[in-house]
Amino acid sequence: MPDYLDDLRLAHVLADAADAATMDRFKALDLKVETKPDMTPVTEADRAAEEIIRGHLHRARPRDAILGEEFGVEGTGPRRWVIDPIDGTKNYVRGVPVWATLISLMEAAEGGYQPVVGLVSAPALGRRWWAAKGHGAFTGRSLTSASRLRVSSVGKLTDASFAYSSLTGWEEQGRLNGFLDLTREVWRTRAYGDFWPYMLVAEGAVDLCAEPELSLWDMAANAIIVTESGGAFTGLDGRPGPHSGNAAASNGLLHDDLLGYLNERS
């Protein structure tokens, strides 16, 4: 089995370059912000970071395909890099430091492409998380200065911390009653949003998190980091991996409970 460590090292190089570009424009008074057709914001920093990552990949991995939020799919083949240049653009625009560049390498497998490398870099927080298939998940400032991630061992919902993004999507999908029932059952709820709750699950600081509507680039890196830390990452339909258009992540012990509540229909 490939060890993917060279790809992981490359992901760190890509993140270093992206971090330099995004931090340079973070809180800039003249930051250019536009609205995309799906009514979500995009900044010049989103596009610049993705272009930088694509440029590095063209030189270092010319045979690999690339899928990015801002510039779509490029190339074909069994290996595909998936990029979200700024996950949390609304936070970025408002000067909230909770945003990150998400980089994943996916490989063709039974059931579709599956993540084998994932990296999440949140430079405004001074934090980075990463994982490679079969090698575990880690957090730290570099490959040589890192600590291993492990999910929590909380086994009861009444002792669990649940993180989510917002209420809107749950209501639109008719899942609000089950969502609210879950919030009443758990020990604690917090609306951290974007990449952040998945990293907290991987660290063992949060036990459950879920989002009702997502794209592949929102999930691929998070998925392997959570699973390599010993947790579970599925769609709300229970399908493992980042392909369901939504996500549920947990320490594994509480995953069936999480899905049960979130699939209650109004």
Give pLDDT, residue 265: 66
- Mean pLDDT of successive 10-residue segments in the chain (266 residues)? 89 97 88 76 88 97 96 94 95 93 95 94 96 97 90 98 90 92 97 94 98 96 98 97 96 98 81
Residue range(s) defining the domain that contains residue 124? 4-142
In DSSP terms, 104 is beta-bridged to 82, 118
Q: Does 138 map to a domain? A: yes
Give pLDDT, residue 266: 55
Known binding-site residues equal 69, 84, 86-87, 218
Give pLDDT, residue 1: 63
Q: Does 237 map to a domain? A: yes
Known binding-site residues for Mg(2+) equal 69, 84, 86-87, 218
Supply the CATH number for residue 60's domain. Answer: 3.30.540.10
Residue that finishes a domain, picked among 116, 142, 168: 142
Indicate the number of domains in the chain. 2
Q: Does 241 map to a domain? A: yes
Give pLDDT, residue 34: 81
Contacts of 56 by beta carbon, 8 Å cutoff, 6+ apart: 10, 13, 14, 17
For the whole model, what pTM was predicted?
Answer: 0.95
Supply the CATH number for residue 222's domain. Answer: 3.40.190.80
Joined together, the tokens standing for residue 201 give 């699950």
Q: Does 148 map to a domain? A: no
| Residue 161 sits in the same domain as residue 138 | no
| Residue 197 sits in the same domain as residue 250 | yes
